[in-house]
Amino acid sequence: MTLTDQSVAEAAADEGGPSEATAGPILGEARPLRVDVWRRFRRNKLAMVGLGFIVLLALLAIFAPLVAPYGITERTSGAFRQGPSADHWFGTDGIGRDVFSRVIYGARVSLRIGILATLISLTIGLVLGAQSLPEAEQDDALRRAGALLDEYPAAALLDYEKQLHALAVQAQACSGLLRNSFEVKIEELRTRY
């Protein structure tokens, strides 16, 4: 339950309700949680900027065919690896495609993946929440699954380090500068992770 505005409290006191001196603060009707959350969210300026940015990206992704100046696979002859210009705001790639158009169309894929991942996690959460397993068994199973998922990124990083090490071994035939740069990268990975 949340306190209401001062005007609501005064209106209740005018109607013959208990005065603040005798009954303490007057509580009004409880607001829904979403109203309180939205009110707090609106007060945070960085959150509102982030929301505006996400809405802008979503609108660009939805209206990509109308906003993008070129098609996703459309090539411009003679415009290979050009920098930003009036015709190509983000420049062109190695085969002459407009990078800005590809970024806008890429936002569609990113939104689809994000929505799909959210739906999958929601489905998993609903299924696990609806399970009728005893609490201890379900807790143990979830703990083991979480530990397995926590260890996966570390295993992927170790594989990445092995690949870098293999590149460093192959680079021994190259100049000392190239070999040293690979060794520095491997050392940075080891110290970071």
pLDDT digits (tens, 9 = 90+) for 164-184: 665 555 555 454 544 455 566
pLDDT for 55 equals: 93
Contact 42, 48 (CB under 8 A): yes
Which position has the token pair 């982030």?
A: 50
Query: For the segment 106-146, what is each residue's pLDDT rounded down to a tens digit?
Result: 888 888 888 898 899 888 878 877 776 666 676 777 777 77
Mean pLDDT on 26-44 = 85
Residue 7, number of CB atoms within 10 A of its CB = 8
pLDDT digits (tens, 9 = 90+) for 36-87: 889 999 999 999 999 999 899 899 989 989 988 888 888 887 778 888 888 8
Q: Please check whether residue 186 is in contact with residue 158, taking contact to mean a CB–CB distance below 8 angstroms.
A: no
Average pLDDT over the chain, rounded to an integer? 74
Contact 104, 64 (CB under 8 A): yes
20 CB-near residues (< 8 Å, 6+ apart): 9, 13, 26
